Amino acid sequence: MAMKIRLSRGGSKKRPHYSIVAADSRYARDGRFAEKLGTYNPLLPKDSEDRVKMDVERVQYWLGHGAQPTDRVSRFLEAAGVIEKKERANMQKAKPGKKAEERAKERADKAAAASAAANAPAAETPAEETAE
């Protein structure tokens, strides 16, 4: 049996609530599971203690018996200090392409030149003397 520690979705539409479960990887996401290990409520603030609750002893038991955590659950376990942080591929998909970077650089250069031109004449003009 290929056991996984994963999330099982519950809650209503647009109000998700997840259970952290140990289940066979062949079962449906919300289907049969061996044991419920905790809960995850993504609607709570990130600093809330109730956002992620786990029975750490049972999680370690399942890890000892060969269960593999999913990516999201492994992040929870890393935050709790149960497993070591692993190196992840830092994808550069959000980074703009070469042409977009060139256009942004051109815009920045034009803006810098315009601001320099606007500031230079104002600083160089002598103060008007008042006639008495």
> Domains along the chain?
3-80 (3.30.1320.10)
For the chain, report the end-to-end CA distance as a whole number of angstroms. Answer: 99
Q: Residue 85's pLDDT is what?
A: 85
What residue ranges of the chain have pLDDT lower than 50? 123
> What residue spans of 68-130 are helical by DSSP H?
71-80, 98-124
pLDDT of residue 91: 75
At residue 122, the pLDDT reads 52
Alpha helix ranges (H) inside the chain: 56-64, 71-80, 98-124
User: Residue 129 has what pLDDT?
Assistant: 58
